[in-house]
Amino acid sequence: MTTNSASDKRHDNPDEVRQTGLNQGLVNYGDAGFSLFLRKAFIKGAGYSDDALNRTIVGIVNTGSGYNPCHGNAPQLIEAVKRGVMLEGGLPIEFPTISIAESFSTPTSMYLRNLMSMDTEEMIRAQPMDSVVLIGGCDKTVPAQLMGAASANLPMLELVTGAMLTSGHRGVRVGACTDCRRYWGMYRGQEIDDQEIEEVNAKLVGSVGTCSVMGTASTMACISEALGVALPGSASPPAVTADRMRVAEATGRQAVINARAGVTPDKILTEKAFENALRVLLAIGGSTNGIIHLTAIAGRMGIDIDLAAFDRMSRETPVLVDLKPSGQHYMEDLHRAGGLPTVLRELKPLLHLDAMTVTGRTLGEEIDAAPAFEQRVVHRFDAPLYPAGGIAFVRGNLAPGGAIIKQSAADARLMEHEGRAVVFEDAEDMAARIDDPTLDVTAEDVLVLKRIGPVGAPGMPEAGYLPIPRKLARQGVRDMLRISDGRMSGTAAGSIVLHVTPEAALGGPLALVENGDRIRLSVSERRLELLVDEAELARRREGWRPVALTAERGYRKLFLEQITQADQGCDFAFLRPPTIQRRVPK
């Protein structure tokens, strides 16, 4: 029997003695000896020896699924993690949880993120293991796993599946999914025909793995590394490479070491770690979804993200990584450029170098240990790709609780803009009218979409990337100012204000916008204003009627009753700790 002394918050009773290995978390039959006897009898039926069963146990979360090509390399990763665990003298045991793939989850993967976090947390709590390796990758899976594992507080390491390879279409290098949107925009604008759009459809995804640009999956991979919960250099190796398999093996080894040393998430996920992660989110030109997910993960640790302070951080943190959608390269290029350690080295003056990582060494020590060499993907701090942070936080009478815009992937011309509102009441209304040739819209107007927030849709879908009305697309218009209470894919680009809080479905000011109103955005002043006088807004508020936000039963009922707004990470209220005592960035 192992005798590790890992601290354990999985049991609510503080007097309960920490058990390890197979004899922890016994089924309650009222006779502990019988419970262990029965458990061993069953697992021996699978051919295990006592020697194997007496080892340190590393659980491996298997999120492989036929519906999730982003996790298509899960079987190989699991094999490599198992090898690492056994090299270190431990016993690996894999187990499944929910797997969420972005393009296979209706109404939106975000609707299921919290369910996956609950599954992850409770299966870690329920089953005997001394540490856990979380294999995630596609957008919502990594945040779900980190949220659940943070709450379970068992030693853990995140292992991302890694990015897909790029491919080529008629001599042009392509990868999902910034290029997916670019080609679809060309198709809508009649620049390419039916045959070519079919052809490119088969070229965009070069292999299994996550999206090949700095979308949400790559962002969360980098954030995991920056938080210190994934091995240094583990964010960037592509899914199908030898480097990725070696990272998996090393992760398995480290999971055994950390189980024995009791390296619980609360020792890693500190305020300094979250400040480092916020810096990295900005410097990589990361997905706007990253701020929601980081808020949710931090919330599980009792830490609030102060979005106004984050915005101040944004003004002094340049975008350094030249990856789509902010730049031109792909994740495999970042890997060849040294991966995240190359970014961290440039960011050193802004980071907490004493933050601890899962290796037992500090972030600063890991940066110093990584090789430095000439490369062209990560810009120098004094010659950035974009001078200020990729994400700006704006506020005003249209978004009293705030909204965000990814300015590094937007049209600079529209960052100071006033225009006439063209309003869609919900996603169905937009789908019905956006391509109507009679739609009264010009390129200078502001497209407004309501009711795609956390409860409105529900699940805050990535519908904030409103398509350019077809009649304008055919005139060559490629960007317009667009505003909604929804999200957009991290792979998307455009002048798009997102996460307007409070959302329209809850009666936020966005609900009161009417066709023809004037809206003003000033990113330099961080303002988003509805230029309608207060008396008129009061009149509209008086007449506004909510749509019933409930369901008779099931997960949808739980979701609608418990979902929080974007500024609380869209976590379920009951999953957050009773008190939030700390606030970052300082």
CA 522 from centre of chain:
27
User: What token pair was written down for 300?
Assistant: 């599980």
The strand pairing partners of 61, in sequence order, are 95, 134
φ/ψ of residue 134, rounded to 5: -100, 115
Radius of gyration of the chain (CA): 24
**Separation between Cα atoms, residue 329 and residue 144, nearest integer Å:** 28
**Separation between Cα atoms, residue 560 and residue 573, nearest integer Å:** 11
- In a 13 Å sphere around the CA of 254, the CA atoms on its Cβ side amount to 26
User: What single-letter DSSP state applies at residue 547?
Assistant: P
CA 93 from centre of chain:
26
Nearer to ligand FES, 70 or 466 (CB): 70
What are the start-end ranges of the H helices in 228-330?
242-261, 265-268, 271-283, 289-300, 307-315
Task: Give min distance, CB of 140 to ligand FES, in A.
Answer: 9
Q: Using CB under 6 A, which of the segments 99-107, 421-429, 519-527, 577-585 binds ligand FES? A: 99-107
**Separation between Cα atoms, residue 522 and residue 99, nearest integer Å:** 40
Q: Which of 22, 134, 211, 305 is in the footprint of ligand FES by CB under 6 A?
A: 211
Nearer to ligand FES, 292 or 350 (CB): 292
Contact flags string 65-84 toward ligand FES, x per CB under 6 A = -----x--------------
Contact flags string 9-48 toward ligand FES, x per CB under 6 A = ----------------------------------------
Nearer to ligand FES, 70 or 144 (CB): 70
Task: Give min distance, CB of 203 to ligand FES, in A.
Answer: 16
**Separation between Cα atoms, residue 517 and residue 105, nearest integer Å:** 35
Contact flags string 354-383 toward ligand FES, x per CB under 6 A = ------------------------------
Q: Which of 110, 217, 303, 367 is in the footprint of ligand FES by CB under 6 A?
A: 217
Give the residue among 94, 79, 147 at the shortest CA–CA distance from 118. Answer: 147
Is 290 a binding residue for ligand FES by CB under 6 A? The answer is no
**Kind plus residue range of the DSSP H or E element containing 365:** helix 363-369
Is 179 a binding residue for ligand FES by CB under 6 A? The answer is no
The strand pairing partners of 417, in sequence order, are 521
**Cα angle 56-58-61, degrees, rounded to a multiple of 5:** 165
Task: Give min distance, CB of 272 to ligand FES, in A.
Answer: 28
Task: Give min distance, CB of 74 to ligand FES, in A.
Answer: 13
Nearer to ligand FES, 138 or 343 (CB): 138
φ/ψ of residue 350, rounded to 5: -105, 0
Nearer to ligand FES, 70 or 323 (CB): 70
Is 103 a binding residue for ligand FES by CB under 6 A? The answer is yes
Task: Give min distance, CB of 205 to ligand FES, in A.
Answer: 9
Is 215 a binding residue for ligand FES by CB under 6 A? The answer is yes
Q: How many residues bind ligand FES (CB under 6 A)?
A: 11
Sequence-distant (≥ 6) Cβ neighbours of residue 553 within 8 angstroms? none
Task: Give min distance, CB of 332 to ligand FES, in A.
Answer: 14
Task: Give min distance, CB of 109 to ligand FES, in A.
Answer: 9
Nearer to ligand FES, 139 or 517 (CB): 139
Q: Using CB under 6 A, which of the segments 25-33, 98-106, 186-194, 263-271 binds ligand FES? A: 98-106
* Contact (Cβ atoms closer than 8 angstroms) between residue 294 and residue 305: yes
**Separation between Cα atoms, residue 455 and residue 243, nearest integer Å:** 41
Q: Which of 120, 145, 210, 224 is in the footprint of ligand FES by CB under 6 A?
A: 210
Give the residue among 116, 75, 91, 96 at the shortest CA–CA distance from 21. Answer: 91
Q: Which of 110, 112, 133, 138 is in the footprint of ligand FES by CB under 6 A?
A: 138
Is 320 a binding residue for ligand FES by CB under 6 A? The answer is no
Is 102 a binding residue for ligand FES by CB under 6 A? The answer is yes
Site for ligand FES in 450-509 (CB under 6 A): none
End-to-end C-alpha distance for the chain, whole angstroms: 45
The residues of the shown chain that bind ligand FES, judged by CB under 6 A, are: 70, 101-103, 138-139, 177, 210-211, 215, 217
